[in-house]
């Protein structure tokens, strides 16, 4: 059933005809049935002193309402100005009289600083009641609110604070009235007077009802109400339904929330073009949606106060006062949180713009610029939320905003392939969603595996691994081989010891086997990675090549100088390929090419040339390796 049909059904069950409902000059629906009991209140002739006539001298009109008129008067006995409220001429005089007397009795029973004091009830010559009250020199709160409309950025902070202070005083008066069993039922800015010195008075208690049997004499009980009464623009759902059984102090809490809504937005919550539409909106009481300019704490207070279900509202007006005072204490935190919320919206707008796909340098530049902008805006909103929480740890809006910002950034970092940054942000979440935790963990594990693979590959191609061992091995082998070759050349030319080609091939093979043994013995250095193994295997391969060449030389018809020259060229070629991977080995092909040149020039000194080539090439290689290794990062 729609809200409209449900409301009509309720009215029908109570015998109410909305067509008969009339709104007074001040916007209030004044009940008829409630006032029936008030018509039996004692006459003012019975309760007021008649001797000497009324003690007041009436003056000019101060204001008029639907059924009453307020005049300035002079109280003779105390020589003071007072306000006198009497029945407005014309209309239903009996009804107006009953309402006036009820209001006087209720107001007189509420001895509170924010309720206008009633001095005495008199009567005029026609026995019409005259309610003598304190004169208030001021204006209605409704006029003050209308003079300063709410702009796009919300109400001016100073003005907002002032109106909240007024609402706190109104709520205190209402809380006191509830302690006396009185429900106002018509709380609105027009029924609050602000004195010249800032005094706040809740007025117009004419449709008040009682929640207690022993309450204000003559005041009707709320449970007996079967009528629509109050101001539709502010009404609680139970008021629009016209069922007194649902009336309670939380009804006034709703009205206070409606007034807070007007403070925040500049308009009452149930504005509509017709009376029926206003009543239907009041009965539905949809939760209001406030713009970002409205402080979240105040928005939360207003929403709760205007809950459809009375049980969901603040327990009483005192609790609402406490909520408003909490806002005042935590105003700086709330303001900072609101500003941070604006930066969060800017962050989400940035994140919503998809980056250009990876392409040329311009695309990469645009992506980098977007990343910088995202990090900058995120930093601003995270700082704002963090500061708001530092000022007030109970700022749930700031906590929720910070959580939202962190989750958005975690998604962003994961999308751009930065799982470590995402993991760092995840650690800031108090209770991260399980799905998000799993996504970050998977991304971090994938990144760790990728880095491990990259490190493995980098280690395998790092030619500096085993640098000291290679320098030592290079020097030792170069010196031993070089001196050995020179010695063989000198001894052979002096016929002391001559070695044949195959014999020298056996020597080369022995050296190759020795190198294999050395590499195995020093495998942690010389075979530590792929690059080191390649260098070690190249040295072994060269001596195996030398061995094969010298062993096959006689068969190939090559003499010793030619074999030496070919060996120098082959060795130079192999070490040149190594020098392309590790620059320090460039010394060996230089030395070998120098040896080749010496053999061409002096063939009979071929062994000495090979020895010198080894000494020069090995020395250059060891020196270059030391220099280049020292220049690498980490060395």
Average pLDDT over residues 570-581: 87
Does pLDDT of 154 surpass 90? no
Q: Is 285 helix (H, G, I), strand (E, B) or coil?
A: coil
Tokens 């009289």 belong to which residue?
97
CB 145 within 8 A of CB 104: no
Q: Where are the domains of the chain?
A: 4-16+141-329, 35-135, 331-459, 462-631
CB 617 within 8 A of CB 592: yes
Average pLDDT over residues 514-540: 86
Q: What confidence tens digit (pLDDT) does each residue in 157-176 have? A: 889 999 999 999 999 999 99
Q: Which of 105, 102, 59, 53 lies closest to 82 in space, CA to CA?
A: 59
Q: How far apart are CA 316 and CA 305, in angstroms?
A: 10
Which ranges constitute the DSSP H helices of 75-156?
93-109, 141-147
CA 618 vs CA 35, 573, 623: distances in Å = 120, 15, 9
Does pLDDT of 625 surpass 80? no
- Its pTM surpasses 0.85: no
- Taking the CB of residue 131, how many other CB atoms lie within 10 A of it? 26
> Helices 434-461 and 530-556: crossing angle, nearest 10°?
30
Q: How far apart are CA 593 and CA 610, in angstroms?
A: 10
Between 37-41, 170-174, 328-332, 610-614, the lowest mean confidence (pLDDT) is in 37-41
Between 270-274, 336-340, 464-468, 604-608, the lowest mean confidence (pLDDT) is in 464-468
The DSSP symbol for 394 reads T
Q: How far apart are CA 168 and CA 366, in angstroms?
A: 53
Tokens 């005083």 belong to which residue?
169
Q: What confidence tens digit (pLDDT) does each residue in 290-335 have? A: 988 888 889 999 999 999 999 999 999 999 999 999 888 888 898 8
Beta bridge pairs of residue 80: 75
Query: Which tokens sit at 355?
Result: 């980056």
Q: Which of 401, 246, 238, 256 lies closest to 322 in space, CA to CA?
A: 256
CB 418 within 8 A of CB 389: no
**Predicted pLDDT at 632:** 60
| Secondary structure element (H or E) that encloses residue 134, with its range | strand 129-134
Q: How far apart are CA 268 and CA 171, in angstroms?
A: 17
Query: Which tokens sit at 441?
Result: 């963990």
Q: What confidence tens digit (pLDDT) does each residue in 470-495 have? A: 778 888 888 999 899 999 999 988 88
**Predicted pLDDT at 622:** 83
**Predicted pLDDT at 52:** 38
Pair type for strands 68-75 and 118-123: unpaired
What is the side-by-side order of every strand in the sheet holding 192-195?
Answer: 138-140, 192-195, 200-202
CB 466 within 8 A of CB 528: yes
CATH of 35-135, one of 3.30.200.20, 3.60.15.10, 3.40.50.150, 3.30.1490.20: 3.30.200.20
The fold for domain 4-16+141-329 equals Transferase(Phosphotransferase); domain 1 (1.10.510)
Average pLDDT over residues 181-210: 92
Question: What's the alpha-carbon Rg for the chain, to the nearest Å?
Answer: 50
CB 622 within 8 A of CB 474: yes
Report the chain's mean pLDDT, rounded to a whole number. Answer: 86
**Predicted pLDDT at 358:** 56
CA atoms within 13 A on the CB side of 89: 1
Q: Which of 294, 293, 301, 405 lies closest to 347 in space, CA to CA?
A: 405
**Predicted pLDDT at 151:** 83
């Amino acid at each position: 059933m729609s809200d409209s049909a449900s409301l009509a059904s309720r009215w029908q069950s109570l015998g109410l005809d909305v067509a008969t409902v009339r709104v007074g000059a001040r916007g209030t629906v004044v009940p008829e049935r409630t006032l029936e009991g008030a018509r039996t209140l004692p006459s003012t002739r019975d309760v007021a002193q008649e001797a000497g006539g009324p003690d007041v001298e009436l003056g000019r009109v101060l204001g008029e309402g639907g059924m009453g008129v307020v005049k300035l008067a002079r109280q003779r006995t105390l020589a003071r100005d007072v306000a006198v409220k009497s029945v407005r001429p014309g209309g239903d005089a009996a009804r107006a009289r009953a309402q006036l007397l009820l209001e006087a009795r209720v107001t007189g029973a509420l001895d509170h600083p924010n309720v206008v004091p009633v001095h005495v009830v008199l009567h005029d010559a026609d026995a019409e009641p005259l309610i003598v009250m304190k004169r208030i020199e001021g204006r209605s709160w409704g006029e003050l609110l209308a003079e300063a409309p709410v702009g796009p950025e919300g109400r001016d902070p100073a003005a907002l604070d002032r109106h909240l202070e007024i609402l706190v005083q109104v709520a205190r008066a209402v809380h006191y009235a509830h302690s006396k069993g009185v429900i106002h039922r018509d709380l609105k800015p027009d029924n609050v007077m602000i004195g010249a010195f800032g005094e706040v008075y809740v007025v117009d208690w004419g449709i008040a009802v009682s929640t207690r049997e022993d309450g204000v004499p003559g005041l009707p009980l709320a449970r007996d109400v079967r009528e629509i009464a109050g101001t539709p623009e502010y009404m609680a759902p139970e008021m629009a339904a016209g069922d007194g059984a649902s009336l309670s102090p939380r009804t006034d809490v709703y009205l206070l929330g409606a007034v807070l809504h007007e403070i925040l937005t500049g308009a009452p919550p149930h504005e509509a073009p017709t009376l029926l539409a206003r009543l239907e909106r009041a009965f539905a009481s949809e939760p209001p949606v406030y713009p970002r300019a409205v402080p979240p704490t105040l928005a939360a207070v207003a929403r709760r106060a205007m809950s459809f279900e009375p049980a969901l509202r603040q327990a009483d007006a005192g609790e609402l006062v406490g909520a408003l005072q909490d806002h005042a204490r935590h105003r700086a935190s709330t303001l900072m949180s609101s500003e941070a919320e604006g930066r969060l919206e800017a962050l989400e707008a940035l994140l919503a713009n998809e980056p250009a796909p990876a392409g040329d340098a311009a695309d990469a530049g645009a992506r980098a610029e977007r990343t910088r902008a995202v990090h900058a805006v995120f930093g601003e909103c995270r700082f704002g939320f963090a500061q708001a929480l530092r000022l007030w740890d109970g700022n749930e809006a700031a906590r929720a905003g910070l959580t939202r910002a962190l989750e958005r950034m975690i998604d962003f970092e994961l999308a751009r392939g930065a799982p470590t940054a995402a993991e760092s942000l995840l650690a800031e979440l108090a209770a991260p969603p399980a799905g998000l935790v799993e996504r970050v963990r998977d991304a971090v594990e994938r990144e760790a595996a990728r880095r491990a693979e990259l490190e493995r590959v980098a280690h395998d191609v790092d030619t500096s691994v085993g640098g000291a061992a290679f320098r030592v091995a290079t020097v030792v082998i170069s010196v031993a081989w070089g001196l050995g070759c020179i010695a063989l050349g000198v001894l052979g030319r002096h016929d002391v010891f001559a070695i044949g080609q195959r014999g020298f091939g056996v020597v080369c093979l022995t050296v190759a086997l020795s190198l294999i043994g050395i590499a195995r013995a020093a495998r942690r250095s010389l075979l530590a990675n792929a690059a080191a193994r390649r260098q070690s295997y190249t040295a072994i391969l060269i001596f195996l090549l030398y061995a094969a060449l010298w062993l096959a030389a006689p068969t190939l018809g090559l003499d010793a100088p030619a074999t030496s020259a070919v060996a120098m060229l082959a060795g130079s070629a192999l070490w040149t390929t190594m020098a392309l991977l590790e620059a320090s080995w460039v010394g060996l092909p230089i030395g070998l090419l120098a040896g080749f040149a010496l053999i061409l020039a002096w063939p009979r000194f071929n062994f000495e040339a090979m020895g010198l080539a080894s000494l020069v090439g090995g020395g250059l290689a060891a020196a270059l390796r030391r220099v280049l290794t020292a220049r690498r990062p980490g060395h």
